Structure 1
Amino acid sequence: MNFIDAITKYLSYVTAFIMATLVVLVVYDATLRYLFSEGSTALQELQWHFFDVVILLSIAYTLKHNAHVRVDIFYDKFSRKKQLFVNIFAYLFFILPFAFLIIYISLGFVEMSFAQNEASSDPGGLPYRWIIKSLIPLSFTLVVLQTLKELVTDFREWRSL
């Protein structure tokens, strides 16, 4: 199970690098646009693609570090055993079914994009849109793997309490 954490960890380094690159691209694009009245459709689309990569590849990392959105009004007051039970319940009945649904739906979406060799409809836009779309099933596969790892870890702790 440590290999799942390792994958998530190394992907976080990739997303950190992409985020830093994204910041540079945004500054560069804004400078071109506002100081020199120049712009690039491809550059703007690249920014959106980088943003997509950061979001999609960070979902599993967020789950690993328990930084996801949750209503903590009651959760914080629960005993550790109840918190673990809530986590296990959420993994089994919310996260895993949702992730499998997204994977199932997005595979056809990516396949169609690849078959059509989908590209930007804007002049000067980026080609090969299927590449960015292929991150959807990939990222949710990573979510499934991370969820299974967290499920096993939390279940073991819950049983020991």
Structure 2
Amino acid sequence: MSGRLASYALRLSRLIDSANALLGRSVAWLSVLLVSLTCAVVVLRYAFGIGATATQELVMYAHALVFMGAAAWAVQRDAHVRVDIFFRRQNPRRQALTDLLGTLLLMLPMCLFLAWTCWDYVAVSWARGERSADAGGLPFVYLQKSIILLLVGSLLLQALSQIIKTLCVLTGHLSTHLQPDHAEAL
């Protein structure tokens, strides 16, 4: 990979990382909403005997958005689940090769499989204007199902970013593809 190509590719990678970080940080704030709404549902039900179907469904929607919307951000920050008995002891080039192979052989095929299997599922929901089956439920189930495609799209973009960074490490244009530990910034 030439220096100029690496420079352009790294700019693209940084753009993808910035977009996924913005998405991840934004949906992380929905956790506050999840706690608040869950408390409201419990208080309404047990203190006042009022069912809140729409609020319960909103909690489900927010829950899905938190986990699926922040998945690519977790990959970017190396905060996903990893069995790293050997990974942390490897040098940066071996780590890059391990992550490149994992991205190419596991993450990309999984994303493509999800995209292929979920596209019709989401499209049919949109075509029908799918609504909640429960009385008093939310009228836009198709939006919740679309979160799956958000997951797929953001993970595919993050896979591209990971591929760029790992190739840059393997070709000597970067010293490491891993971000420094930002756990204290959460």
Query: Shorter-normalised TM-score: what interval?
Result: over 0.9
Q: Which moved more, 1:64-73 or 1:32-41?
A: 32-41
Q: Check if 1:78 corresponds to 2:63.
A: no
How many residues are treated as equivalent by the alignment?
161
Q: Check if 1:146 corresponds to 2:146.
A: no
The answer (yes or no) to whether the contact 2:28–2:70 under 8 Å persists in 1 is no
Q: Check if 1:42 corresponds to 2:54.
A: yes
Matched ranges for 1:1-80 at <5 A? 1=12, 2-80=14-92
Correspondence for 2:124 among 97, 112, 135: 112
Specify whether residues 102 and 49 from structure 1 end up closer, same or farther in structure 2 by C-alpha distance, changes over 3 A only.
same
Correspondence for 2:143 among 131, 140, 160: 131
Give how far 1:121 is off: 1.2
The answer (yes or no) to whether the contact 2:122–2:142 under 8 Å persists in 1 is yes
TM-score w.r.t. structure 2 length? Answer: 0.81
The answer (yes or no) to whether the contact 2:129–2:140 under 8 Å persists in 1 is yes
Give how far 1:16 is off: 2.4
Q: Distance in 2 between matches of 1:29 and 1:87?
A: 42
Could you tell me which runs of 5 or more consecutive residues in structure 1 were left unpaired when the two chains were aligned. none
Deviations 1:54-78 (A, max 9, x none): 1110111001101111111122232
Say what the alpha-carbon RMSD is for the aligned residues.
Answer: 1.4
Q: Check if 1:157 corresponds to 2:169.
A: yes
Answer 1 or 2: which has greater helix percent: 1
The answer (yes or no) to whether the contact 2:25–2:70 under 8 Å persists in 1 is no
Q: Distance in 1 between matches of 2:26 and 2:45?
A: 28
Give how far 1:17 is off: 2.7
Structure 2 counterpart SS, 1:72: coil
Give how far 1:158 is off: 2.1
Q: Which moved more, 1:24-33 or 1:56-65?
A: 24-33
Structure 2 counterpart SS, 1:66: coil
Q: Distance in 2 between matches of 1:70 and 1:17?
A: 25
* Residue of structure 1 equivalent to 2:181: none
Structure 2 counterpart SS, 1:69: coil
The aligned amino acid for 2:69 is L
Q: Distance in 2 between matches of 1:14 and 1:21?
A: 12
